[in-house]
Amino acid sequence: MGEPAKQRPATYADLEAVPLHLVAEIVDGVLHTFPRPASPHGAAATSLTMDLGQPFQRGRGGPGGWWFIVEPELHLGDDVLVPDLAGWRRERMPLIPTVKFFTLPPDWVCEVLSPSTATHDRLRKMPVYARAGVMWLWLLDPLAKSLEVFHLFDRKRYAQEQTFVEGEVVRASPFDAIELDLTAIWDAIAPDEG
């Protein structure tokens, strides 16, 4: 019996050929596509961006010093990822470059989990972020109403540093200079009517 044919690694041309209504990523040479996020996902990402943007990007009520970008395309070695949110310290990226994609790994990423992406975010993307040296990773789950905070501790893997649930007011690293009201993130989302 012969060996199965090896599939060629996905290329950027493969990614560009994906229809615009899908999110496409290349992880370990494999092209992955997902439908655009549903409303709980988008609402949670928008709320979090607003909560962090004023104190950390604009310096209003907080220390400033960060840039945040929604759904940036990241080229991390051969992998192409699109996190829901990414943040760079201004000391590493003084100005946001005019580019189609970023090769400088962010200092922080947030993946908003949904039933269709949770396994992909945890098992495929987290190791890529670790290899790239992304120091902080948040997993925000609007349906479970939870926030998990991970810190890269040996440039190989993440350690879960904090976990928050439901309506807590929290100080989540690396943005612990301010309190973050998780209730405000969840309250805009209507209960699933199943």
Contact indicator for 27, 125 with CB cutoff of 8 Å? yes
pLDDT value at position 166? 82
pLDDT number for residue 1: 45
* Continuous segment of H or E residues that includes residue 127: helix 126-132
| Distance (Å, whole) CA 129 – CA 109 | 9
Q: Are 96 and 67 in contact (CB under 8 A)?
A: yes
**pLDDT tens string 44-84:** 888 899 999 999 999 998 999 999 999 999 999 999 999 99
Model pTM score: 0.91
State residue 194's pLDDT score.
46
Give pLDDT, residue 167: 79
Q: What is the pLDDT of residue 65?
A: 96
For 180-190, the pLDDT digits (tens) are: 999 888 876 66
In terms of Cα–Cα distance, which of 147, 48, 146 is closest to 137? Answer: 147
pLDDT at 161: 95
pLDDT of residue 190: 61
> How confident is the chain (194 residues) per 10-residue block, as mean pLDDT?
64 94 95 87 87 93 94 97 97 96 98 92 97 97 93 90 90 95 79 55
Instruction: Give the pLDDT confidence score for residue 78 in this predicted structure.
Output: 96
